[in-house]
Copies of this chain bind each other. A is one copy, B any other.
């Protein structure tokens, strides 16, 4: 289709609607782009987020613009792809319609790639106290809290108040929790070390709390052990087999134990997009849609669910993990199925192959020069794993400009220990920091001492 196509020509090509422009949706769109179809990509954000580097935005190493790219600029070269920024609210599978913010959109094929968000296991009230990390806004909120905690601590110490323990707690030791904890430790010991006068950031404590027995539980045990050692070397205090039972402003409870924490971050649970439940088919406990082996919906061969929203088991009966590689391969697989069936009558089930995941290996970064890599029989730890992680991630970043900018930022940080994006924007409040007292001090404020002695 091009802009000179007539109305009748347009009606003859199938319409593919893709919900969500994460790794799955984007790869489906790009694989379909050269086919004679009209594609509509709908996302409630205007940008694709390179989620594997979100923790770098949360820890002030990269700017949001460096890991997020406008969806329509990624796809602008394809005249048969239309991008809509809209919130999808539901589906009418019988009429083949997607319900979005302000209108309905008809499809012949539908690919749902709406992803996942964090889960608080029925304690949704914890979200405001312990934000998770799934999008740019989350990352900026975490960055704000982390940087603000140091600022508030410095202000208190300068005012002669008794020192507040600068505790950071990260709940959940999967890849995201490990990245956050490791990078926080690195920042406290290096990037911030010399910037304060009344407090010493090197005395900040980073706690990583995991309910299971091991950090990085989905990795082979030798790599879990290595990750634990690398975390400890960075100064992270790891608590395994420890369940968080309650969170209050600035306080975290683990059974009988109680810990004050300036900032609490949540990396413990994932729930699939609520759109999965709108489909009227069975979902698993995490809200993932139980798809057919070809990723289609039972009874709806024209509807596919891919990525973090799909629950599919591999040959050994293990659920496919919620990682970018799975989503990318599923997006391409589904796009190829559609290309194959386009000529035939849409919506009629064809004999289809099952989706098979080709695991190319897993990488988890821990901090500066610290990572683990699992390539099946080959396990790597430390510097080499970190270099691998670095180049793989820069390579897969979308846009040459972003690759260049991120590479420079990284090289710069590596040699100078600086963090380029240490901005606090938005509110200047932190939960649990006794705002009332500090904003309206009662009585005479303590006389201030600019004194090196205040540094403990």
A residues sitting closer than 8 Å to B (CB atoms) are 1-5, 7, 10, 15, 38, 40, 44-47, 63-66, 68, 70, 72-73, 76, 79, 82-87, 101-106, 136-137, 140, 147-148, 151, 154-156, 158-160, 194-198, 401-402, 404-405, 408-409, 412, 416, 418, 420-426, 428, 438-439, 441, 445-448, 450-453, 455
Contact = CB atoms under 8 A, between A and B. Distances in A.
10 contacts: A46-B423, A46-B424, A70-B423, A83-B154, A83-B195, A84-B155, A103-B160, A103-B445, A103-B448, A404-B408
Given A84-B158, A401-B412, 17 more contacts: A7-B453, A46-B148, A46-B151, A64-B423, A79-B197, A82-B197, A82-B450, A83-B154, A83-B197, A86-B155, A102-B438, A102-B439, A103-B158, A137-B426, A401-B409, A405-B409, A408-B408
Nearest to A15: B450
Contacts of A194: 76
Contacts of A148: 46
Contacts of A196: 72
A401 B414 CA distance: 13
Given A65-B423, A101-B439, A154 B448 contact: no
Contact of A3 (B83, B87, B423, B455): B455
Given A137-B426, A408-B408, A102 B453 contact: no
A40 B450 contact: yes
Given A82-B158, A195-B73, A5 B452 contact: yes
Nearest to A104: B445
A422 B104 contact: no
Copies in the complex: 2
Contact of A45 (B195, B409, B424): B424
A312 to B, nearest CB: 31
Contacts of A82: 158, 197-198, 450
| Nearest 9 CB-CB pairings of A with B | A65-B421, A63-B63, A103-B159, A63-B65, A85-B151, A103-B445, A3-B452, A72-B195, A46-B424
A195 B401 contact: no
Contacts of A447: 104, 106
Nearest to A72: B195
A60 to B, nearest CB: 8
A409 to B, nearest CB: 7
Contacts of A418: 73, 401
Contacts of A426: 137
Contacts of A412: 401
Given A102-B155, A451-B10, A70 B445 contact: no
A123 to B, nearest CB: 26
Which of A5, A66, A446, A452 is the most central at the interface, judged by chain B CB atoms within 10 Å of its CB?
A: A452
Contacts of A68: 423
B424 A155 contact: no
A438 B101 contact: yes
Which of A86, A438, A447 is the most central at the interface, judged by chain B CB atoms within 10 Å of its CB?
A: A86
A197 B75 CA distance: 11
A383 to B, nearest CB: 24
A155 B70 CA distance: 16
